[in-house]
């Protein structure tokens, strides 16, 4: 047991070192490193969600893309001396609980968040506004059949049925629009050049 624990610790340390170095390089303007960070993270998130959401396999890929989008939009909340795996895990837990709340109600929330994880999402009004502008610009690149379902269901929290009625789309088309739109957004994020670090004045 001790040997297995040591092996797991070493594997985790290697993962942390790899992802953190890619994240920091991305924040410093290395677009290729940032793409590799998102790609490697996507693989690990997919495995994470498959283990925890075995009852809803169709939701896994959408949740992966949503989480990658959230990580991109909240990258300004990452502190360089913070373990990147803990930061990502907190975001992934929020996304998991959001889905469970939508699917099964409050009784499913048996894994509450602690105060430390809440602080990961503290942000200034200006940072939040900047992230929202980034998201709006990305959404504007999508066709309407993808943008409207994402805005209605994912951003405004409305039901698929409500968005289908409002847009005149079928519920199936709304779901497909969300899936394809999130995938397209993730691809656009991965292809975006990373800006250099902000300079304090």
- Whether 2 is covered by a domain: the verdict is no
- Whether 51 is covered by a domain: the verdict is yes
The reported pLDDT for the residue numbered 173 is: 92
What are the structure tokens assigned to 155, written together?
A: 């951003």
- Whether 198 is covered by a domain: the verdict is no
CA dihedral defined by 48, 49, 53, 57, rounded to 10 degrees?
-130
- Whether 199 is covered by a domain: the verdict is no
Which CB contacts under 8 angstroms, 24+ apart, belong to 109-114?
none
What are the structure tokens assigned to 170, written together?
A: 């079928």
How many domains in the chain? Answer: 1
Q: How far apart are CA 67 and CA 47, in angstroms?
A: 13
pLDDT in tens, the chain (201 residues): 445 455 566 777 888 888 899 999 988 989 889 989 998 888 888 888 887 776 677 788 888 888 998 898 888 888 888 888 888 888 888 888 777 777 654 444 444 433 333 332 333 344 444 555 667 777 888 898 998 888 888 777 778 888 899 889 999 999 999 889 888 887 777 776 554 444 444
Task: Please name which of 191, 173, 185 lies closest in space to residue 136, comparing C-alpha atoms.
Answer: 185
Q: How far apart are CA 154 and CA 149, in angstroms?
A: 8
The reported pLDDT for the residue numbered 125 is: 40
- Whether 200 is covered by a domain: the verdict is no
- Whether 197 is covered by a domain: the verdict is no
Range(s) of the domain holding residue 171 = 11-191
- Whether 81 is covered by a domain: the verdict is yes
């Amino acid at each position: 047991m001790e040997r297995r624990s040591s092996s797991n610790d070493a594997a985790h340390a290697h993962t942390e070192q790899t992802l953190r170095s890619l994240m920091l390089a991305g924040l410093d303007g290395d677009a290729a490193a940032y793409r590799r960070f998102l790609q490697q993270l996507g693989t690990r998130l997919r495995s994470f969600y498959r283990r925890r959401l075995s009852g809803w396999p169709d939701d896994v890929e959408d949740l992966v893309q949503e989480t990658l989008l959230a990580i991109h939009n909240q990258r300004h909340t990452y502190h360089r001396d913070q373990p990147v795996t803990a930061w990502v895990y907190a975001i992934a837990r929020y996304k998991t609980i959001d889905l469970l709340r939508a699917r099964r109600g409050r009784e499913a929330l048996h894994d509450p968040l602690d105060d430390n994880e809440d602080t990961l999402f503290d942000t200034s009004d200006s940072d939040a506004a900047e992230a929202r502008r980034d998201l709006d610009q990305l959404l504007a690149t999508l066709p309407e059949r993808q943008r409207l379902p994402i805005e209605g269901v994912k951003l405004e929290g409305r039901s698929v049925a409500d968005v289908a009625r409002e847009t005149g789309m079928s519920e199936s088309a709304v779901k497909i629009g969300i899936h394809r739109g999130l995938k397209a957004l993730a691809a656009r994020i991965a292809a975006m050049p990373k800006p250099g670090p902000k300079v304090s004045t």
